[in-house]
Chain A
Amino acid sequence: MNRVYNVLLFMALALAPLAGQAEANLEVNTPAIASLKQSMQSRHAQLVEHYNNGAVGLTRDGMVTMRDANAVPLAQRQAVNALISAENQDRAALYREIARANNHPEWEPKIRATFGQRWINLARSGWWYQTDGNAWKQK
């Protein structure tokens, strides 16, 4: 009886390497990612009106860009350009940080592409985004 038990235990131990595997989840809870999210969230309050009036559009590669400078009064244009550039810096850092947090820096382009699709997918109606053919389309 004892021997049978030992045999069963032995067989169970043989499968031990299968235990403790990471789930197919992406690690996104790091201090760096949290602070990038925070920074982008507070900037969004300023960017949202420019998404709404079409001045700023979402690019396919997960960035934002000045789409229609004429929609911004000349006096504000420099400030909006600064917002865009700061937002793009945060976004690039976000994609890089997610790849790094998951120990796969080489995943960065794929993470960026995924975000590119998801920003556009979740964009509110009226916002502009870049299509695969690099044309601008309004949601």
Chain B
Amino acid sequence: MKNNNLLYDILPITTGLFAAGMLLSACVTINIYFPAAAAEKAADKIIEEVWQLEQEKKDE
């Protein structure tokens, strides 16, 4: 009987972890913040393709 108490002992911790996990993932999923660094990276890649900057570098 005493052993069963272990589950009850950690239940609050687990619940807390679960809640924290949900909260954290919700923050990321909603992602209201504009990912500026990722946008810059994506822009550079597209611009390099459109202006063919890589090719010019190789040609030089």
Contacts and interface: CB of A to CB of B under 8 A. Distances in A.
B10 to A, nearest CB: 6
B42 A122 contact: no
Nearest to B39: A114
Contacts, number: 93
B10 A26 contact: no
Main secondary structure of the interface of A (DSSP, over half): helix
Contacts of B44: 118, 122
Interface of B: 3, 6-7, 10, 13-15, 17-18, 21-22, 24-25, 28-29, 31, 34-53
Interface of A: 3-4, 6-7, 10-11, 14-18, 21-22, 24-26, 28, 33, 37, 40-41, 44, 94, 98, 104, 107, 110-111, 114-115, 117-119, 122
